[in-house]
Structure formats: C-alpha cells, structure tokens
Amino acid sequence: MNRAQLLELQQLDIVGDIHGCFDELLSLVGLLGYEISHDEGIILGHPQGRKLVLAGDLVDRGPKVPEVLNLAMHGQQASRVFSVVGNHDDKLLRALKGKELDLRHGLRESLEQLDTHPENFRVEALTFLESLPSYLVFDAGQLIVSHAGIDEEFIGQDSEKIRQICMYGKTTGEVDEYGLCVRYPWAEDYKGEAMVVYGHTPNSNPAMLNNTINIDTGCVFGGRLTAFRYPEKEMISVPAHKFYFSPPKPF
C-alpha cells in the first residue's frame, strides 16, 4: 500500500481519535446506520454502501485497543473500513517491532492488552499498522483525511518528512507550560481547495477553519467520539462512557 492512497469513494463517515474506546465506537457506528456483528465486534456493512474512515490514533490509553484493531483490520480486509496512521499507531508499531520506547502516554496499556491475545494477533496487528497510509484522498481529490492535517503543497506527494507531519503536525520549536511542543497552527494558513479532516489535538467541539475540520473531541479523556459525515458535512457524536485517561493538558 502506498503511503498516500487515492480512493474513489464519496459516501463516508470519518471518525476522530478512538484511542481504544471500542464501546463508544460501536455506539457511534450503530448510530451512523452500520450493521454490526456484536459477537465478533466487526462491521458487516452499511445499507447505503457508506464506508467508515478512521482518522488515526486507534490505540493507546483506552480499555479495548485489541478490539478496535480487530474491527479496523477486518474492515480493511472487507473494504468497509479505511484508516490512516496516527502517531500513537506508529509508536505501537515500533514497539511491536522490538524497539525500546517510553511506555507513558498510553503505550503501556496497549502492550498489556495485546499480551492477553495470541501471538498471531500481534503479528496481524503489526502488519496492519505497517500498512497504514500517511493520508487518504477521496472524491477525486476533494477530501483529504490525515491524522494531524497536511499542508496543501504536500497533497499528492509523500515522503518520510510528509509522513511525520501527517502523524505529528508541525511544531514551532517552543515548549508550553505543560512541557509539550507547541504546535504550529497550520489550519490558519491553509488555502487548499480540498477539505482536510483530521484529529490529533483534542477539542471540546469540532473545530472548523479554512476548509479544515478537527474532529478529535477527546473521547478517551471523558469527552466525545465524533464522526464527520461526507458529503453531508454533518457531525454525529456519542459521549464517552467514562473518563479513561488524564489528558496531557486541559482542552
């Protein structure tokens, strides 16, 4: 799979950062009209042929990371679910490959949960995470899904630099009062014709600016899990069932 992937699909439901919140994901996709096998924890399809798109950060912090991965993997095989890579997904991939990494920020929870599953599931998860593209292009270039956004000049291109931007976003080089890198407000400068749907930075409500929309509404931090319906441009969300993880800073 190319790191940037073009798909000629037009009826989509794009879901923000899930972070292992599987129960909320099932509630949301049910609300969106998808047929679900609750026994298997997979999506069987949509009566209108709609497809589900996951905007990265499927893993870490939440209580049911393997279940989210299983739904995404099965959905990808059946061409019902499409995902882009998030920074947490990439970090888990590196850990599964044997890299020694900082286990804070939710990686420890992912690895502990995966340890309760057979080795072949871990191998499948590694292969799946390795396959995830930097960003997805839909509807003849009118819609882009990237975990942390993308500048218009990079659309249609790919490189390791672009992949890093898609996963982490740009930073200013400064550090805030919480010890976190200050993110460059790329959406303020965005002038592209394509709509960019992204997540990565949690907000209490979806944030729209200059043909971009951030749909990370902090479900794992006790917020909501949000989907953006395209081409309708409607928002559907469900509340978190509980507060699972402390956010690195208030939002």
- Nearest C-alpha neighbor of 113 from the set 25, 22, 49: 22
Please write the tens of the pLDDT for every residue from 128-157.
Answer: 999 999 999 999 999 999 999 999 999 999
Average pLDDT over all residues of the chain: 95
Convert 111-147 to b/e letters by CB count within 10 Å (16 or more is b): bebbeeeeeeebebbbebbeebbbbbbbbeeebbbbb
Helix, strand, or coil (residue 226): strand
| Predicted local confidence at residue 1, as pLDDT | 39
Please write the tens of the pLDDT for every residue from 183-213.
Answer: 899 999 999 999 999 999 999 999 999 999 9
| Predicted local confidence at residue 101, as pLDDT | 75
Terminal-residue alpha carbon distance, the chain = 35
- Domain at 11-239: CATH code: 3.60.21.10
CA distance 204 to 215: 10
| Predicted local confidence at residue 77, as pLDDT | 97
Q: Tokens 């729209």 sit at which residue?
A: 208
CA distance 71 to 201: 24
Cα 107 to chain center, whole Å?
A: 16
Query: Which residues does the chain have with pLDDT short of 50?
Result: 1-2
